[in-house]
Amino acid sequence: MAPAAATTDEDFEVVIGLEVHAQLTTASKMFCRCSTDYSGAAPNTHVCPVCMGMPGVLPVINKRAVEYTLMTGLALNCQIPERAKFDRKNYPYPDLMKGYQISQYDMPLCRNGWVDIEVDGVKRRIRVNRVHLEEDTARLLHRADSSGEEYSLVDINRAGMPLMEIVTEPDARSPAEAVAYLQKLRQILRYLGVSDANMEEGNFRCEPNLSLRPRGSNAFGQKVELKNLNSFRAALRAMEFEVQRQAAVLRSGGRVVQETRGWREDTQETASQRSKEEAHDYRYFPEPDLPPLAITREYVEELRRRLPELPESRRERFLSEYGLSPYEAELLTESRSRADFYEAAVKAAGGGKRAKLVSNWFLSDFARHLNAAGIEASESKVRPEQLASLVVMVDEGKLNGAAAKHVLEEMFAGGRDPEEIVRERGLSVMEDEGAILEAVRKVIAENAKVVGDYKAGKPGAINALVGPVMRETRGRANARRVQELLEAELKG
């Protein structure tokens, strides 16, 4: 390989493989009965002899964690081997209570899956090498006392939390592709309900491995592992920085050293944390305190049947079943709760062509209120049936679009039924032709100049009269009917 031949960034191909650690949303920890719900709890209050790593205790496998991992594997198109086992990964570190982590080495729960992504019209399959289960470590808090003396505190609440690791093959070819994979993975985990998958909260932690090679080369270059990424934005920035850094090293004739580099938010740079020379030999061996797992095919098929409809197929179905655009389908299936809300509203509205109308209202006015409040549809006071009623009233011509916007605003604020708001405010469309005609005549009488323009051969002038009539009727008249009555009056 001759990296020196590459003289510009375009001469290098980016290669990225991703490791993701996702905390599972089980009720109890991986190998003990401690509650996983410790957020906001005082340090070291969700602990027991097992997760504190006391000698002489025995771990017990959390069945739900195994189930969640298998469900994830199935959703990621993985094979589920008939046998799996846990192994000890040994390394000395203050956040590791036992001096080893129970993980899975050569017999993980899931293997050989894939996730399809698309970036700028380019589709790519990211192969998933494995999905395995392990336990999280404790958390260290680094402090300094008043004299500047540094010390560390340990919070064991996180120790023993069920942690799922998902490792890809080095298939992503740009930082944008890597982020697209991460976003899709997060969406799938949330649809499955197996993880909150929140990067900012640390329950979805990603470590991209990135290398460059001269375009056209088949051999991989030396990779660098990136850590400390607390958002998709940080992940993207760190990878982009790393591409530039490695390209500069290679262009100047140097070689990239294998190391772990941490993203520094303050300087927007990656900095070396640990080189390969300091890497541990983990001395893996089978965990003697846990039995190997036999995964029956019946169990796998039962789990497969229980999988919810996943984002990709739900999006496809929204396209064909509701006649939505790809963009609308994408937005409406972004989260499972949003898609559920939309479908419930469509059903209540009677389906058919109203599916499109519900989508219009959902993605415009309703979405605006949701965004402003920073909540999901399922968290709002508006129920799917209420949104449906509003759409139906507009569709049946009982309520004007403009009035409906006000009604939705009130529904959003107070959660009341649209019918009730319409009745109370007298917003329903005027059935009384006489009243509309009265308003039309009044406006004609008050706008002699516009009327003159119209009669002088400017038919467009009539538009200037519609608004005042609508105001006269407090927005309750049907605009098309107003136009017709105006024309009839002016011609007559």
Nearer to ligand ADP, 220 or 299 (CB): 220
In angstroms, rounded to a whole number, what is the distance separating the alpha carbons of residues 208 and 211?
Answer: 10
Instruction: Provide the residue count of the chain.
Output: 492
The helix or strand, by DSSP H or E, that contains position 122, with its residue range, turns out to be strand 122-135
Count of chain residues binding ligand ADP (CB under 6 A): 15
Tell me which residues in 179-198 interact with Zn ion (CB under 5 A): none
- Comparing C-alpha atoms, which of 284, 299, 272 is closest to residue 67? 299
Residue 16 binding: pick among Zn ion, ligand ADP, none (C-beta 5-8 Å cut-off by kind): ligand ADP
- Comparing C-alpha atoms, which of 9, 5, 7 is closest to residue 241? 9
Segment interacting with Zn ion, rule: CB under 5 A, options 19-27, 49-57, 145-153, 286-294: 49-57
Segment interacting with ligand ADP, rule: CB under 6 A, options 218-226, 344-352, 389-397, 461-469: 218-226
Nearer to ligand ADP, 225 or 328 (CB): 225
Residue 470 binding: pick among ligand ADP, Zn ion, none (C-beta 5-8 Å cut-off by kind): none
Nearer to ligand ADP, 245 or 441 (CB): 245
Nearest approach, Cβ of residue 263 and Zn ion (Å): 32
Burial degree of 21 (CB within 10 A; 0-12, 13-18, 19+): middle
Segment interacting with Zn ion, rule: CB under 5 A, options 50-58, 235-243, 456-464, 482-490: 50-58
Burial degree of 39 (CB within 10 A; 0-12, 13-18, 19+): exposed
Supply the angle between the helices 63-75 and 297-306 in degrees, to the nearest 10: 70
Name which position in 6, 14, 15, 34 contacts Zn ion (CB under 5 A).
34
Query: What single letter denotes the amino acid at residue 212?
Result: L
Name which position in 11, 48, 222, 310 contacts Zn ion (CB under 5 A).
48
Rule CB under 5 A: say whether 324 interacts with Zn ion: no
Nearest approach, Cβ of residue 225 and ligand ADP (Å): 7
Q: DSSP assignment of 281-331, as one string?
A: ----EE-TTSPPEE--HHHHHHHHHHPPPPHHHHHHHHHHHH---HHHHHH
Write the binding mask 168 to 207 for ligand ADP: x where contact by CB under 6 A, - elsewhere.
xxx-------------------------------------
Rule CB under 5 A: say whether 138 interacts with Zn ion: no
Name which position in 14, 18, 22, 32 contacts Zn ion (CB under 5 A).
32
Name which position in 220, 282, 284, 299 contacts ligand ADP (CB under 6 A).
220
Pair of tokens at residue 258 = 């294998």
Tell me which residues in 18-47 interact with ligand ADP (CB under 6 A): 18-19
Query: What single letter denotes the amino acid at residue 483?
Result: Q
Nearer to ligand ADP, 15 or 358 (CB): 15
Nearer to ligand ADP, 180 or 339 (CB): 180
Q: Residue for token digits 């001269």?
A: 214
Nearer to ligand ADP, 114 or 220 (CB): 220
The helix or strand, by DSSP H or E, that contains position 206, with its residue range, turns out to be strand 204-214
In angstroms, rounded to a whole number, what is the distance separating the alpha carbons of residues 491 and 68?
Answer: 73
Residue 48 binding: pick among Zn ion, ligand ADP, none (C-beta 5-8 Å cut-off by kind): Zn ion
Which residues, 6+ apart, have CB-to-CB distance to 117 below 8 Å? 123, 124, 125, 126, 177, 180, 181, 184
**Residue 476 · residue 427 · CB < 8 Å:** yes
Rule CB under 6 A: say whether 17 interacts with ligand ADP: yes
**Residue 223 · residue 239 · CB < 8 Å:** no
Nearer to ligand ADP, 19 or 265 (CB): 19
Segment interacting with ligand ADP, rule: CB under 6 A, options 131-139, 163-171, 304-312, 392-400: 163-171
- Comparing C-alpha atoms, which of 351, 344, 399, 421 is closest to residue 377? 344
Which residues, 6+ apart, have CB-to-CB distance to 242 below 8 Å? 210, 224, 226, 261, 270
Name which position in 69, 101, 211, 380 contacts ligand ADP (CB under 6 A).
211
Count of chain residues binding Zn ion (CB under 5 A): 5
Nearest approach, Cβ of residue 160 and Zn ion (Å): 5
Could you count the other beta carbons within 10 Å of the beta carbon of residue 213?
Answer: 20
Segment interacting with Zn ion, rule: CB under 5 A, options 15-23, 47-55, 245-253, 272-280: 47-55
Phi, psi of 368 (to 5 degrees): -65, -45
Segment interacting with Zn ion, rule: CB under 5 A, options 29-37, 162-170, 390-398, 401-409: 29-37
Residue 223 binding: pick among ligand ADP, Zn ion, none (C-beta 5-8 Å cut-off by kind): ligand ADP
Name which position in 98, 186, 205, 223 contacts ligand ADP (CB under 6 A).
223
Nearer to ligand ADP, 172 or 465 (CB): 172
Q: Residue for token digits 């203050």?
A: 94
Q: Residues in the site for Zn ion, rule: CB under 5 A?
A: 32, 34, 48, 50-51
Residues that bind ligand ADP (CB under 6 A): 15-19, 167-170, 209-211, 220-221, 223
